[in-house]
Amino acid sequence: MNLILFGPPAAGKGTQAKRLVEEKGMVQLSTGDMLRAAIASGSELGLKVKDVLARGDLVTDEIVIALIEDRLTEAEAAGGAIFDGFPRTVAQAEALDEMLAKRGVQIDAVVRLKVDDAALTERIAKRFAEQGRPDDNPESFKVRLEAYNRNTAPLLPYYEAQGKLTEADGMGSIESVAKAIDEALA
């Protein structure tokens, strides 16, 4: 089973992906986590993307597609992946479909977490105060929301056309969102 957790920045994708991993034994593939790990390690890739992330812009399709491709064998061995923060552009979605097709598998479901902009902004302000993640500052967050609306939201009709899109209310508690995801998947 290959699943995409879809939604705007700070929708709670990472939190829910981690729970699904614990329950179902799949692998979480978060391009955001991979990029932050590269930055933390000081690798060449990390140096290249550090400022892009801090601004809230998207890194190039080429970079994230390569990161995902590197992990697909591992995901296959675990019985599937939960994609979190990927794909974020139509080009990434097309590349993912192709990479999976080559392996004889596909995306089985796309769960969209619906959270309104006011709630997202509130969550991020809180997280910024608590954790100080550089791209959670108000200006960068605005850029991230714009990138979502411009580049990522067009994936909704892409997956709708494939008949794979389901929606879950992402506004409640972690437990209630988990329940909504399970219902969407059932």
> Which residues form the interface with ligand ADP (CB under 6 A)?
9-10, 13, 31-32, 35, 52-53, 56-59, 64, 85-88, 92, 135, 144
Minimal CB distance to ligand ADP: which residue? 32
For residue 88, give Cα distances in angstroms to 25, 155, 158, 173. Answer: 24, 8, 12, 25
Name which of 1 and 143 has its Cβ closer to ligand ADP: 143
- Looking at residue 12, its amino acid is G
How far apart are alpha carbons 102 and 122 in whole angstroms? Answer: 42
Name which of 104 and 113 has its Cβ closer to ligand ADP: 113
| Shortest separation between residue 186's beta carbon and ligand ADP, angstroms | 25
| Shortest separation between residue 35's beta carbon and ligand ADP, angstroms | 5
- Looking at residue 19, its amino acid is R
Name which of 125 and 186 has its Cβ closer to ligand ADP: 125
Name which of 58 and 180 has its Cβ closer to ligand ADP: 58
Q: Is the dihedral of CA 30, 44, 146, 130 positive or negative?
A: positive
For residue 171, give Cα distances in angstroms to 23, 34, 161. Answer: 22, 26, 26
| Shortest separation between residue 4's beta carbon and ligand ADP, angstroms | 11
Name which of 80 and 87 has its Cβ closer to ligand ADP: 87
| Shortest separation between residue 185's beta carbon and ligand ADP, angstroms | 20
| Shortest separation between residue 161's beta carbon and ligand ADP, angstroms | 20
| Shortest separation between residue 27's beta carbon and ligand ADP, angstroms | 16
Name which of 33 and 76 has its Cβ closer to ligand ADP: 33
Could you tell me what percentage of the chain is helix, strand and coil, using 3-state DSSP and rounding each to the nearest 5? Answer: 60, 10, 25
Which residue is associated with the tokens 């879809």? 6
Sheet of strand 3-6: strand arrangement: 27-30, 81-84, 3-6, 109-114, 165-169
